[in-house]
Amino acid sequence: MIGREERVETIARAMCRAAGLDPDEIVVDTPNSQRKSMQPGKEPIEAWRRYQLAAENFCALSRDLCEADRRARS
């Protein structure tokens, strides 16, 4: 079974590719990118990390929807 971190990374990479970017490209993080912390940084990161927070939110939402569906079927 795939772990939570691996699932988040896989989804973040897919989001990055859908945006037309190479997930492995090294980019400079900017204050406008989606970050876990609110502190703006200028360090280079892999492009997929810009989508990490969105992927975590997607995982949380999909988990909630699956649980609601299971309860409705019971």
Under 8 Å between Cβ of 39 and 47: no
5 phi/psi in degrees, rounded to 5: -65, -40
In terms of pTM, does the model score above 0.75? no
How many structural domains is the chain composed of?
A: 1
Q: What size, in residues, is the chain?
A: 74
Listed in sequence order, the residues at least 6 apart from 9 whose beta carbon sits closer than 8 Å to its beta carbon are: 48, 52, 55
pLDDT at 74 over 60: yes
In tens, the pLDDT along 3-57 reads 889 989 999 999 999 999 999 999 886 655 555 544 455 788 999 999 999 999 9
User: Which domain covers residue 44, as residue numbers?
Assistant: 4-73
Q: According to the model, what pLDDT value does residue 54 have?
A: 93
Q: 52-73 and 4-18 helices cross at what angle (nearest 10)?
A: 120
| Alpha-carbon span 8 to 4, nearest angstrom | 6
